[in-house]
Every structure is written in C-alpha cells, then in structure tokens.
Amino acid sequence: MKNEKKIAQMSDGSEIYYEKYGQGPALFLLHGNGGSGRYFSKQLNSFSKHFSVYVVDSRGHGRSTNTQKETSFQLMANDLAAIMMLENIDHADLLGFSDGANLAMVFARLYPEKVVHLILNAGNTVPSGVRTIPHLLSYVQYAIVWIGAFVDTGMRNFLPILRLLFRDIGLSTEDLNQIQAPTLVIVGKHDSIKTQHSMYLARSIPNASFAIVSGQGHMFARRNPKRFNQEVLQFLINEE
C-alpha cells in the first residue's frame, strides 16, 4: 500500500505530520488524546480502496510539533484547514476517534462548507460525558505526568494535551444544532463515553444517525476493525 509522508508548516512554526493513502474523495482520520495517526493502521487498507485517506498527527502528538504553551481543538481545526488548503481540498469526510471526534465537531462548526460527512467515534463535548472511572483515571494520569514534567521534557510537552481531557470543547447544544453534514455517531456499548452522552450528540446534530455496537469498548476500531470499517464504509458509500 503506497503512501506519501508529508509535513505542513503552520504560521506559528509548528509542523504537522500527515500521510496520504489511496485515491478518491478526501477522508481525514483524526486520532485520540495522546495518540497518533498510527491508531488507524487497521483502517488504511480498507478505506484507501475508496478514498484519498489523510492520516494526521494532531499538533503536539506523534511526529507533529507544537510551539504554543497551550493547545485547543480550535487551533487543531485551523491546522486541518491549512492542510486542506495545501492539498487543494475544498471539502472532505472526517472520521474522528475520541478527541479526534471532538476535533471533527469543532472543525464542522468552524468550517461547515469544508465537511461532507462526519463519523464521530466516542466523542464528548463536556468532561461529564465520560464515565466516572475513566475520568478519575485521567486525573491520576495527569498527576503522574505533572510530577514527571519537572524532570522530563516529553512529559512537560504532554501536559497541554492532557489538559484537553478536563475542558469543554466549546460547543453548545445550539452549536451542534448548526452542524448540517450527514453524521454517524458510533460507539461500543462498553465505551468510556456514557451512552446517554453519545445519544445526546446524535439527537443534537440534525442529520445524525446513531449506532451502538455490543461487545465493544473505547478501542473499537482497533479491537474489531472488520466491523468498524464495515459500519463506516456502509455509511459513507450509501450516503454518496
């Protein structure tokens, strides 16, 4: 499977790494907090048969850098828009996992004309959308990294990313009501995101459908890629 490896230079000096696979309409894959584009390794072969797949390392993640002391989904959405401009892409489908789904929602609100379809896997607009134990574990992780940041540069750079877990993403119900792109909200039944919160997203986005898959948790796309890919392609190709 051929791929192109690229780096986009942002106006603040940050470098955003991304890879391109396949040919066809543009499909961007957006990973979760602390991850990288490698999360989607089991989707590439399937999706690249139908799409030009762009796998992005969000700023400060993977092989991308971040010159800012803080980061935000708005900043990452602007990075995505800059990549689309560099690639001469007018509009694209966005598939986001976890924080990647949050990024996709923010992007769709800021750049509605650039979004054809949205697939939101395990996104949450507010921290209270996360189940109690995973949310508490995030605080434990933050405390460990905060202590480590005194002696380790990597951990220091990771703190702004972890802080995203404890903030609203900046979209109200009214903002979600404004998203017009056909949307698939898809989650595992045992996801760390509360089922009622995923249902809230599907209710609030006007053209959204909701899929809950039994036996799957937060890492659905990794644990059962065959089923995940099937659900995504069925939505995208049927919608087309």
| Percent of the chain with pLDDT strictly greater than 70 | 99
| Cα(41)–Cα(141) distance, integer angstroms | 25
How many residues are recorded in the chain?
240
| pTM of the model as a whole | 0.96
Task: Tell me the pLDDT tens digit for each residue of 126-144.
Answer: 999 999 999 999 999 999 9
Please check whether residue 21 is in contact with residue 3, taking contact to mean a CB–CB distance below 8 angstroms.
yes
Distances (CA, A) of 155 to 1, 33, 141: 34, 14, 11
Q: Which two tokens stand for residue 65?
A: 């850098």
Name the residue among 140, 137, 119, 91 with its Cα closest to residue 186.
119
Task: Tell me the pLDDT tens digit for each residue of 211-231.
Answer: 999 999 999 999 999 999 999
**Mean pLDDT computed over every residue of the chain:** 95
Main-chain phi, psi angles of 202, to 5 degrees: -65, -35
Does 191 score more than 60 pLDDT? Answer: yes
| Percent of the chain with pLDDT strictly greater than 90 | 96
| Cα(217)–Cα(224) distance, integer angstroms | 10
